[in-house]
Amino acid sequence: MKFLKLPIFLMTLIFSVACLAAGNPRPGFPHDTLIFHVKKAASGVVNCDGGHASFIRYDEAAMEIVPVDIYITMVDWYQVDNDDDGLFDEDPADGLDNDLDGAVDEDGVEPGAETAFTDCDGLDGEITLVMRDTDPRAGWISTQEWFIRGIGKPEQEFAFSTNAQQQTCDWEAGDDGLLGTDDDVVVCSWGDWIPLGNVSTSDYNGEICVKQVSLKGKNSKKGGGKTEFCDITEEFQVDVDVNGDGFYEEEFDELDQFIFSVSCLDLTGTDVDCELSRIIWDMDDSTTSKAKAQVFVSHTGEAMIKKGKIRGKHGQ
């Protein structure tokens, strides 16, 4: 199995099961819409950066998807002037003032302020996506509900497996070789990949998430309009070993935490962007066809970033 790599501040995802109404499945909440296109590999490199569309490649000669991993991460965005551009909110009483010096940055330049593909072309075997955080507080992130539907003919399919990975960070001695001195540095490393589940638009927990269309020809049959979204939020949740004993224990540990709310070590007092968890979508290149998929991400809540080790789903 191949796995995807993610940028700073990543979090683990789990997908939930249920088909909701066509159109916006969660009206009234901030949301992002992502499109995954399956595009001919022979058409050359797609030069794109920062948008909401990505391109999985199809090799027509081999009649298969070019193997690709899709890395998804999130940064804990908070409204402070950490880009030192001097732009702040003119109304400190609006409830968004989270900076100790009384200034709130409003220019949106800080990492984590927007959803964007930082690498949108899967021709090189990798796609990276950074999700925005809509909660302006440091140490808090917005939780999300994720939905997917295929856009194409009924026989087409978009399928992948999901895996979580957690980063840990700690202090190491600097050039003087002594831990606890001014030249200490923070060193981070990624742990093992933890399998979460599988998603297929043709059959996700018994639900069909592929667009219905009118097929042309003598024996054509009409579809039922827009396909309903399938709720895959469960694929972005994990259990957390909070007490650090290496096991999931219901009495001490926590079930179904949003992957991006799971932190590495608590390195308070540092300016280091310690990455959280990350998720990888490993495309099923034997099943995925030339369809495209629409993913709807709705920011419906918030969670405090916590220390703990990802244990997979239900302690596994």
Q: Give the model's confidence band at 263: pLDDT under 50 very low, under 70 low, under 90 confident, else very high.
A: confident
pLDDT score of 254 more than 60: yes
3-state secondary structure 214-237: CCCCCCCCCCCCCCCCEECCEECE
- Percent of the chain topping pLDDT 90: 17
> Could you please report the per-residue DSSP string of 33-99?
EEEEEEEEGGG------SSSEEEEEEETTTTEEPP-EEEEEE-----S-TT------S-TTSS----
Structure tokens at 305: 């970033």
Higher per-residue pLDDT: 80 or 309: 309
Q: Which residue has the tokens 């990798």?
A: 126
Quote the pLDDT of residue 109: 63
| Cα radius of gyration rounded to whole Å, the chain | 21
What is the pLDDT at residue 278? 80
- What pLDDT does residue 18 have? 31
Arithmetic mean of pLDDT, 280-296? 83
Q: Characterize the bridge pairing of strands 262-263 and 306-307.
A: parallel
- Provide the pLDDT for residue 153: 66
Task: Reply yes or no on whether the pLDDT at 184 is more than 70.
Answer: yes
Q: Is the per-residue pLDDT at 83 higher than 80?
A: no
pLDDT of 154: 63
- Selected residue with higher pLDDT from 144 and 308: 144
In the prediction, which pLDDT does 15 show?
Answer: 27
Mean pLDDT of the chain: 76
CA gap 52, 47 in Å, rounded: 13
**What is residue 6's predicted lDDT score, i.e. its pLDDT?**
28
Using pLDDT thresholds of 50, 70 and 90, give the confidence band for residue 275. Answer: low
pLDDT digits (tens, 9 = 90+) for 134-164: 887 778 889 999 999 887 666 678 899 999 9
Cβ–Cβ < 8 Å for 286, 68: no
Q: What is the pTM of this model?
A: 0.76
Give just the sign of the alpha carbon dihedral 73, 311, 143, 158. Answer: positive
Q: What confidence tens digit (pLDDT) does each residue in 85-130 have?
A: 666 554 444 555 444 445 555 555 667 778 989 999 999 999 999 9
Is the pLDDT at 289 greater than 80, yes or no?
A: no
Q: What is the distance between the alpha carbons of residues 207 and 203, in angstroms, rounded to a whole number?
A: 5
Q: Is the pLDDT of residue 10 over 50?
A: no
Question: Are the C-beta atoms of residues 157 and 315 closer than 8 Å to each other?
Answer: no
The 10s digit of each residue's pLDDT in 188-217 is 788 888 898 899 988 899 888 876 555 555
pLDDT of 42 higher than 70: yes
What CA–CA distance (Å, rounded) separates 241 from 252?
Answer: 8
Assess whether pLDDT exceeds 80 at residue 179: yes
Interval 298-313 mean pLDDT? 86
Beta bridge partner(s), residue 103: none
Residue 311 has pLDDT above 50, yes or no: yes
